[in-house]
Amino acid sequence: MRHLTVFIVLFFVSTIAQPNQGLPSQLDKALRKAGIPQSAVSIYAFNLPKKKVALDFQSKKQLNPASVMKLVTTLAALEILGPDYRWVTDIYTDGKINDETLYGDLIFKGYGDPSLNLESFWMLLNKVRSRGIRHITGNILLDRSYFKVPFHDPAAFDGKPHRPYNLGPDALMVNFRSSQITFVPDKKARKIHAYVIPHLPQLQIINKLRLSNKTCWHWPDSPKVEGKKVTFLGSFSRRCGQRQRYYTFLSADEYFSSIFNKLWKDLGGTADGKVIPGLVKNSDQLLLRHSSASLANIIKSVNKFSSNPMARQVYLTLGSNNNKKNRDISPANAERELKLWLKTIGITGAELTIENGSGLSRNSRISAFNLAKILKHAWHSPLMPEFVSTLPILSVDGTLRKRLDHSPLSGKGHLKTGYVKGVRTIAGYLTNKRAQKILIVCLVNHPKAKKSWPIHDEVLRWAYFNT
C-alpha cells in the first residue's frame, strides 16, 4: 500500500510543470537564433480547462510589459467602472439665446472622453446647433480642468513629439489632435502624393519625398517641423503602395479652434469671439450633455489597436470611482483605485509598477506570473466575454492581423502584443489543437528584443501543438 501511495504521489507531481522548468528545445533554439539569453525571458502558460501549469519559466521576474499593461488597465476599467460606463462632455452658456443668437460665451467642459473623434465632435456641434444657436457673440471657452495632471513632454519618451502615441492625457481631447496623412506613390509621374485629413489652415505641408525602389521599411516617420511648416523629406518606396500615418502638429487649443471653426461654419454657424481656455462658473447654464460610446466598445480600440492616448484616458478615469463630488482627477486617484482592485485579486501594490496605464513607459513592471493571475481572474469573471472580445484575433485583426496567417493557429488566439525599445511582449488566450484554452504570457526584455517576435510565434506554436 505504501508503494502504491508513493507511485500515486510521483505520478501526480510528474503531471504538473514545476516552476523555472527548462525551456522546450524549440524555444531555446529560437532564443539562441535571436541572440537573446534565457535570463531576458519570462514565460508562463496555463491550461485553463485542466487547471494545469503547462510551462513556468522565470515567471516571477519583474519585467517591463510594454503595451501588454493595457490588459490590466482595461480589465480594471470593466470591473470598476462597468461595461456601460460612458464619458460625457458638457456644454454650457453664460448668456441668453434669442433669435438663433447666443449673447455670451459657449463653454465646453471635458471629462476625458477617449473617443471624441471628428464624427463624434461633429455630432456634438450638431446638438448645439439644434438648440437654436447659429451665431455666438462671445468666446468659445475650453475647460480642461477635470484632469489634474503634471506637465507632459511628448518628446521625452523617444524624441518623436509629433506622433499621437506620445500624447499626454487631456480632459477635452478632440480627435487625438491628429492629422491623417496618406502617402500615395504615383509611378507614372514618378512622385509621391501626400493627402491630409482634416484640413488645418494653420499648417503648411511641404512634400519633398522621392520615389524609390528600396524596401518598404523606408518611409516617412519624423518630418521636419519648423513652427507651422511641416516638411517631408527622404524617399518613399513604390513597393509600399498607399500608406497612412498620423501626426500631431498643433497644440490642444489650436487644434480645437481649427476643427471647431471649420465644422461650425459647415453647419451654418458663425462666432465673433476666439477659442480660448476657460472655466465653468456656478452661474453658467448647462445647455446639453454629450455622451460617448460605452466603455466596453471603447476599450476594443484600446486593445485591438494599442491606442496609448485612449489607454491613458481610461486609466485616469479609474480615479472617478468613489468620487461622488466629481472632483478633479489625478494620477494618484487612478493608482489608488487600481491597486485596491488588484488587492481583490490577490496582488499587492508592491508587486507591480503601472506608470500611466498604457505601457508606454520605461518604468512599468509586472511579472508574467501576476499578469497570468489577472488573466485567470478575467477568464472566470462575468465580464469575460466583453474583455476577451477586445483583444486582437491572431492573423485576423488589430495588431495581430498579419501574424501567423495561413497557419493552423490562424484565428485561434485572442492576444495582446507590446513593444517599446528593448521590450517585446505578448499575452492572452490561445485555443490549442485539442480545442482547449491556453493562457499564455511571454515577456522579453533585452536590447535585441525588437527581433524577438519569432520567439513569441514559436511560443504560440509550442502551446498549440504541445499543451
pLDDT (0 to 100) of residue 8: 36
pLDDT (0 to 100) of residue 321: 84
Inside any domain, residue 34: yes
More confident residue, 1 or 188: 188
- List the domain range (segments joined by +) for residue 233: 179-247
**Average pLDDT for 294-319:** 97
Look at phi and psi of residue 253 and say left if phi exceeds 0, alpha if psi is from -120 to 50, else beta: alpha
Distance from first CA to last CA of the chain, Å, rounded? 33
* 94 shares a domain with 69: no
Counting residues of the chain whose pLDDT is more than 70, the rounded percentage is 94
Hey, what's the cell of 184? 500615395
**Average pLDDT for 253-262:** 97
* 94 shares a domain with 221: no
**pLDDT at residue 185 is higher than 80:** yes
**Average pLDDT for 338-355:** 93
* 265 shares a domain with 242: no
Q: How confident is the model at residue 238 (pLDDT cuts 50, 70, 90)?
A: confident
Q: How confident is the model at residue 9 (pLDDT cuts 50, 70, 90)?
A: very low
**Average pLDDT for 21-29:** 89
**pLDDT at residue 18 is higher than 60:** no
Inside any domain, residue 3: no
Which residue, 227, 261, 293, sits at the end of a domain? 293
**pLDDT at residue 322 is higher than 80:** no
**Average pLDDT for 182-196:** 90
Q: What is the CATH number for 62?
A: 3.40.710.10
**Average pLDDT for 76-95:** 98
* 232 shares a domain with 362: no
What is the residue-averaged pLDDT of the chain? 92
pLDDT (0 to 100) of residue 235: 87
* 381 shares a domain with 324: yes
pLDDT (0 to 100) of residue 316: 97
Output the CA angle 448-453-455, nearest 5 degrees.
Answer: 90
Inside any domain, residue 433: yes
More confident residue, 250 or 328: 250
* 231 shares a domain with 191: yes
**pLDDT at residue 247 is higher than 80:** yes
pLDDT (0 to 100) of residue 269: 97
Quote the number of domains for the chain: 3
One-letter amino acid for residue 396 of the chain: V
For 412-442, b/e burial (b = at least 16 CB within 10 A) is bbbbbbbbbebbbbbbbbbbbeeeebbbbbb
**Average pLDDT for 390-417:** 96
